[in-house]
A and B are shown apart, each in its own frame.
Chain A
Amino acid sequence: MTEIMILGINHKTAPVELREKLSFTESQLTRSLAFCKASCEISEAIILTTCNRTEIYAVGAEPELLQQKVMQLLAEIKEIDTAALRPNLYIYTREKAVEHLFTVTAGLDSMILGETQILGQVKDAYAKGKEAETVGAVFHALFRQAVTAAKRVQTETGINQNAASVSYAAVELAKKIFGRLDNRTVLVLGAGKMSELTLRHLYDQGVKEVIVVNRTKERADKLANCFGGVAEYYENRRECLFKADIVISSTGAPHFILEKEEMAAVMRTRRGKPIFLIDIAVPRDIDPRVNELDNVYLYDIDDLQAVVAANLKDRQHEAVKARHIIREEISHFQSWLKTQEVTPLIAALRHKAETIRLSELDVSLKKLANLSDKEKKHVENLTRAIVNRILKEPVLRIKEFALEDRSEVFVTSLCQLFDLTEELNGHQTDLREEERVVALAEGGRQ
């Protein structure tokens, strides 16, 4: 019986101080995986550690022992009292554990719903486990299916389509207006922290030019230098408005620094060329009536937050679709896992039949010594064909019943009918090794 379990904490169950304490460093991770490899209770292990979560995935034969061992691992490596941690920990087993991994990988358990960074982190965790040789057939199949599910969620739902933060929302709006941003000029009015963040996102999209205007020229210079831009005097802002396509405004001015009349004049000199004004100052820098002008798109901080809120609502909507996909993919994995439970039985049955076939063939061929090589080959093929034909139906049935959770009866009755106890016990260890090889070969083909 293989038992999958997961033990972990995340941003929902623990404050950041605790998450920091449980986060694994590179060397701790290596030591933990080595610990799992050495332990006989844990047959497979993968450790996922990010700034929002630390999760240990493990496979073992005995649920109780497995959990104890994982707790022991945590206590040893992190040198903490695990009993005190108990209220912040969550432990899932079997279907629950599987569902948890799928949900996490698809970004549905993330702080920002639907984010895709976690997928890379899960892949990394899997690679580390593989490197440390703590990944077997079960985790190979499980993680591969989880990654498939996450990719499907990304392509088949719009969960990650819209911006989930104010600065990203600003970038998306800019793209909606200008398409590509690489031939655009950004003007920053007021060199604050928030404007720097928004500027960075725009800069990452490869804007052509950055102009910074600030009351104190030194700060403008500093920010401009960071982005290979130019600093301008506050008095020249009107000329800068003429040149800019995107304006980020966040001065500390107590009143509007840009009135509708002034902007109308700017638009005349711009000959109506579209301009995107992002006013993230509180109190606002730009007269909201400016938005009434043709080809001027003014967004203040509330507008941007409203866009983000609407996007997050959309994401929630898409998450429903995502859960459908996840359920489908989980059932794929579950069927695989269930047929996996009867593979030792099938192998034992095959082994038994093969042994009989070979011994009988040996006896017969000795008696039929005057047969040609070609004829011998035919006889051998005949025996093989008979065995395969006889076993074909029962093997299919066993797999079918396994999917319906009715394989127990078969295991016992087949064991007794064919006297398979010896085969089952004797080859258990070999089989595990065999499974691994098969799984690796499959992995190579993918």
Chain B
Amino acid sequence: MINGEFALYILLLCFLFTSAVLFLIDLLGSGKELFVIARRLFFLAFSALTVLIAARAVTYGYFPIFTFYETLLFLAWAVTFVIILLERSYGFRTVFPFAVPALFAVLFFAFFISAERASLPPEYKSIWLFFHIITVIAAYSTFTVAFVTSLMYLSVDNQLKKKKLSALVSKLPSLDVLDHYNYKLVSIGFFLLTISVFLGALWAQNVWGAFWRWEPKEIWALVTWIVYATYLHTRLSGGWQGRRVAMLNACGFATVLFNYFAVRFFFAGGLHQFY
């Protein structure tokens, strides 16, 4: 924990919490001004998070993605970046009330885990490793947003089937648009994940003399990769569309969550022990 990090973190959580609440009220009500205020608060939260990460980088002299805490922070930053981009470029406003509460939950969780600086063996200070981690977190962030769009897709689909459209669902984008976002996000995420696996393998070969060691992290990354590969394959070959693809995407995200949060607790140790 660096000086002022605690205060900044509290501030960040306050911004995020207030904006999440305002986004939800805006979604359920119909006041236009609330959205603008909520978005402004969200931008403040984004700035606070950026400062937090930058301060760590400057203080510790490394880009802070080497502890679980640091990766969570960077993941939150990347997700924030993706949803701001989606809103700015495509006017996808309804992503906020769904994604911001989740972001708050992640950062609230991160608040309670150790914020100590990373103490890594010298061989970990490699540009390959750095890009390996950066790309995998970027991949996870796009998968997270893709998962949110899948959930939206499934709820719109469900209500269209049941022939009862709630006010909330009527504010969501059309199935076609949600499907489009979903596809684009997963494609980017899959590309990043693939690169990350390759970079990791190259680095492992360099340092440990083996590309692949069948560690739990590696196995689960492979599972994730296979699920998303199936997703893309079924879309491109055109076998499945719509609802089933959305569900497949949800499965993919479940493997991501499991790999990221569960594997480190159940199968501690190994080369990925720091994550």
Given A157-B30, A177-B175, A271 and B241 contact (CB-CB distance below 8 Å) = yes
- Give A178 to B160 CA distance when docked, in angstroms: 12
Q: How far is the CA of A307 from the CA of B169 in the complex (A)?
A: 14
Bin the interface of chain A by size: 20 to 34
Interfacial residues of chain B within 226-257, with CB under 8 A of chain A in the complex: 238-244
User: In the complex the two chains form, what is the Cα distance from A295 to B206 in whole Å?
Assistant: 49
Residue numbers in B under 8 Å from A57 (CB-CB): none
8 Å CB contact of B160 from A177, A271, A273: A177
Q: Which of B164, B238, B242 has the most CB of A within 10 A?
A: B242
Q: Judge whether B163 and A303 touch: CB under 8 Å.
A: yes
Tell me whether B156 is interfacial, beta carbon within 8 Å: yes
Contacting residues, chain B, for A155 (C-beta < 8 A): 32
* Interface contact B160-A176, CB-CB below 8 Å: yes
Chain A residues whose CB sits within 8 angstroms of the CB of B238 once the complex forms: 271-272
- The reply to whether B241 and A179 form a contact with Cβ atoms under 8 Å apart is no
Contacts of A440 in B (CB 8 A): none
Question: B241 touching A295 by the CB < 8 A rule?
Answer: yes
The 0/1 profile, CB within 8 Å of A marked 1, for residues 172-191 of chain B is 01111100000000000000
Asked whether B173 lies within 8 Å of A307 as measured between CB atoms, the reply is no
Query: At the interface, yes or no: A217 with Cβ under 8 Å from chain B?
Result: no
With both chains docked as a complex, state the minimum distance between the C-beta of B249 and any C-beta of chain A, in angstroms. 15
Question: Do A173 and B239 touch (CB < 8 A)?
Answer: no
Q: Is A156 an interface residue (CB 8 A)?
A: yes
Q: Take A271-B239, A273-B241 as given contacts and tell me if A297 and B176 are in contact as well, using a CB distance cutoff of 8 Å.
A: no
The listed residue (A161, A179, A307) touching B176 by CB distance below 8 A is A179
Give, as a whole number of angstroms, the nearest-CB distance from B202 to chain A.
38
CA of A323 to CA of B31, assembled, Å: 17
A294 to B175, CA, bound (A): 13
Docked Cα-Cα span, A136 to B202, in Å, equals 84
- Asked if B239 and A156 sit within 8 Å, CB to CB, the answer is no
Cβ–Cβ < 8 Å partners of A179 in chain B: 173-177
Interface string of A149-174 (1 = CB under 8 A from B): 00000011110011000000000010
Inter-chain contacts of B241 with A (CB < 8 A):
271-274, 295
Q: List 19 A-B contacts (CB under 8 A).
A: A158-B30, A158-B167, A175-B174, A176-B160, A177-B174, A179-B173, A271-B238, A271-B241, A272-B238, A272-B239, A272-B240, A272-B241, A274-B175, A274-B176, A274-B242, A291-B161, A294-B243, A294-B244, A310-B165
**B residues adjacent to A (C-beta < 8 A):** 30-32, 156, 160-161, 163-165, 167, 170, 173-177, 238-244
Residues of A within 8 A of B (CB): 155-158, 161-162, 173, 175-180, 271-274, 291, 294-295, 297, 299, 303, 306-307, 310, 314
